[in-house]
Amino acid sequence: MKKTSTRLADGRELIYYDLRDDRVRDAVDRRPLERTHTTSEIRRDPLLGDSIAVASHRQGRTYHPPADECPLCPTRGERLSEIPDSSYDVVVFENRFPSLAGDSGRCEVVCFTSDHDASFADLTGEQARLVLDAWTDRTSELSHLPCVEQVFCFENRGPEIGVTLGHPHGQIYAYPFTTPRTALMLRSLAAHKDATGGENLFDAVLERELAGDRLVLEGEHWAAFVPYAAHWPYEVHLYPKRRVPDLLALDEAARTEFPQVYLELLRRFDRIFGTDEPPTPYIAAWHQAPFGALAEFDGVVRDDFALHLELFTIRRTSGKLKFLAGSESGMNVFINDVPPERAAERLREVASS
């Protein structure tokens, strides 16, 4: 992998990740952009104890542009975009309309391929490995920023999810706090460790799922399963079999196998509802241990946390979506229409031949 960092016309950082070491990246951003100005602010809810970001400048962000005006395609001729070069393998750049900025963190965009009509599932194993390497590199770099406590790599896919740019891409949020969902995991981890005299909860969950009927696919170094208490109609958790706290700690064997397992999982997601349905909308979310202090979680250290990816869709059946209505949005109590065991069975049924 070759990494080349440059600057866009408004001062934002852009990084090329190339498969070939001889690629030269010296294209200049020719757009007449002024410096970006953001209004991101973090506010803490005194009743719930969590934090939210207020980012009013995002109201003006690009919204469903036509394909020939996509800002994530390469620059070609006088068609200028966020990527100055005429081609790329993987690109990461600072979001022009970030939810988090300055002392409030950082937001980045990850373009998986220059092919506008592709999806992550269309990538080759070599391309998917390059994306993994880019996620890992960005996790490392962002973790060293003074304000950053947790790094979150994720992909939103499909207009049903709320995606406003059709080009295959994901995002990275570098939060200045430990996110509420991670804090819940850490509290459960601490309680289980205390109650069992030191047993790791993530290890216990993975051991149970490997032996159960919700296992979807398994490699030598990775395992994917539908969790016992899945919140979403089709939800899969992907774990490395050797517990590590973050992407940085994955060994070479796990990195090598990851593209094979993950691409197969994504391709199965696209077959859940049959070939006549539009591509399955999904969210793919990496959960990594925070880089900040864990003193509030009694007895827990970073290495107790287990890196894993959660992949889920809001489509519950053909032509129907799962909406977060009163119980989910008002009380955070999910009601799942698809039994997890049936979801796992379906994901095994659609395995590629």
Positions marked catalytic:
169
In whole angstroms, give the CA distance from residue 82 to residue 73: 8
Q: Could you tell me which residues are beta bridge partners of residue 321?
A: 315
326 contacts: CB under 8 Å, gap ≥ 6: none
Q: What number of residues does the chain have?
A: 353
Burial of 60 (0-12, 13-18, 19+ CB in 10 A): exposed
- Interaxial angle between packed helices 252-269 and 125-143, expressed in degrees from 0 to 180 and rounded to the nearest 10: 120
124, 171, 245, 302 from 131: Cα distances, Å? 11, 12, 19, 24
In whole angstroms, give the CA distance from residue 185 to residue 109: 26
In whole angstroms, give the CA distance from residue 222 to residue 218: 6
282 contacts: CB under 8 Å, gap ≥ 6: 155, 157, 158, 161, 269, 311, 312, 313
Neighbours of 119 (CB within 10 A): 19
302 contacts: CB under 8 Å, gap ≥ 6: 245, 289, 290, 291, 294
Instruction: Find out whether 253 and 219 touch, Cβ atoms under 8 Å.
Output: no
Q: Which residue type occupies 209?
A: E
* Nearest of 205, 176, 180 to residue 192 by alpha carbon: 205
